[in-house]
Structure 1
């Protein structure tokens, strides 16, 4: 059985050597080592060059070993997605931090189910925080969304000229906005 290992560190000044040594001290003979150096943990696993290379090479029946769960993704949702993808490929996934548990085994699947529940709660909390922030900003009178390309005075000019029959295409070019914006202003949308 072939063993793949993956390490990640956030800065170029750091090295993945400690992670590799930890895996070897745990009794793993690493056949293929992949790493990402200078890659933040905020970056999803699927966007990391070293991890992408690993995913392109690993096959059914092989094992992926990492020292910590956060090496498999940026958050619970990303980790869960990564482990499900690997399990679907028939790859055994071992995380030393979790007591050398294979996440594709029944006990590992139980851990993933709990992780999934945490991820769902995390998503719900994020949505709640975002909505609360938007409501607070509105209550403070802040304008949400992109800054308009035109001033209020220009919008009034556009409305008047469009309602007077001037072509939306001409107004669009003159004011640097889309025809849809001109038509929307004309029609009061």
Structure 2
């Protein structure tokens, strides 16, 4: 007789996030564990962190958790908003999880992102929302540029500037982003460049944002 191959059992992960120390992670934890028990997700490794949802998920504990997870593993979290602040950021997480074959459970709604047609449609909705969000950002930028020009602010390169930079052709657009206080990570996404590339350009040009990135 041929020996049976060992079956690799999935690992189960729970992710909890609060924005401030004053928020109660225990209520999230209780609901998540109840869901896990109903579905037989045991043992479960829990990850909890206190961090703004606006922070890039790749640099948070969530990113490290996804790195550990493998094909067939399950990540449970109470809501999509625990993952990220915007539809675009949520979509990038869904894409990354799907590419690894990781299944995501949203415990409050019972939504399962497992590659099924329903989950693909939901991911497409996040993608569409991301494009709409980017369209709004660009429109606000154009409005910011028009307002800055009407107020007589200089939008071109400063006198005496020399040397070409990768983002030189987008300098007016970047100034518009800064004028409306758009975070640098969103600027970088809109421009299709790395965050560090944008940050170096802004520093070298001496551009100032009206808000912190």
TM-score by length of 2: 0.63
CA gap of 1:11–1:145, structure 2 versus 1, over 3 A, is farther
Tell whether 2:112 aligns with 1:102: yes
- Counterpart secondary structure, 1:110: helix
Structure 1: 5+ residue stretches without partners: 156-177, 182-189
Contact kept, 8 Å, 1:4 with 1:64, in 2: the verdict is yes
CA gap of 1:81–1:30, structure 2 versus 1, over 3 A, is farther
Pick from 31, 45, 54 the counterpart of residue 44 of structure 2. Answer: 31
**Equivalent-residue separation in structure 1 for 2:119 and 2:49 (angstroms):** 25
Greater Rg over alpha carbons, structure: 1
Tell whether 2:28 aligns with 1:16: no
Tell whether 2:64 aligns with 1:43: no
CA gap of 1:31–1:84, structure 2 versus 1, over 3 A, is same
- Counterpart secondary structure, 2:76: strand
Larger relative helix fraction: 1
Residue 54 (structure 1) shift: 0.7
**Equivalent-residue separation in structure 1 for 2:117 and 2:163 (angstroms):** 55
Alignment partner, residue 65 of structure 1: 76
Q: How many residues are aligned here?
A: 150
- Counterpart secondary structure, 1:34: strand
Residue 16 (structure 1) shift: 2.1
Pick from 111, 118, 131 the counterpart of residue 122 of structure 2. Answer: 111
Residue 179 (structure 1) shift: 6.3
CA gap of 1:123–1:21, structure 2 versus 1, over 3 A, is same
> What per-residue deviation string (whole Å, max 9, x for no partner) do you get for residues 118-142 of structure 1?
1111111111111111111111112
Residue 66 (structure 1) shift: 0.6
**Equivalent-residue separation in structure 2 for 1:51 and 1:127 (angstroms):** 29
Contact kept, 8 Å, 1:7 with 1:35, in 2: the verdict is yes
Residue 101 (structure 1) shift: 1.6
Residue 29 (structure 1) shift: 4.1
> What per-residue deviation string (whole Å, max 9, x for no partner) do you get for residues 77-125 of structure 1?
110010110011010011124x212123221111111121111111111
**Equivalent-residue separation in structure 1 for 2:131 and 2:82 (angstroms):** 20
Alignment partner, residue 91 of structure 1: 102
**Equivalent-residue separation in structure 1 for 2:55 and 2:26 (angstroms):** 21
Give the alignment's Cα RMSD to 1 decimal: 2.2
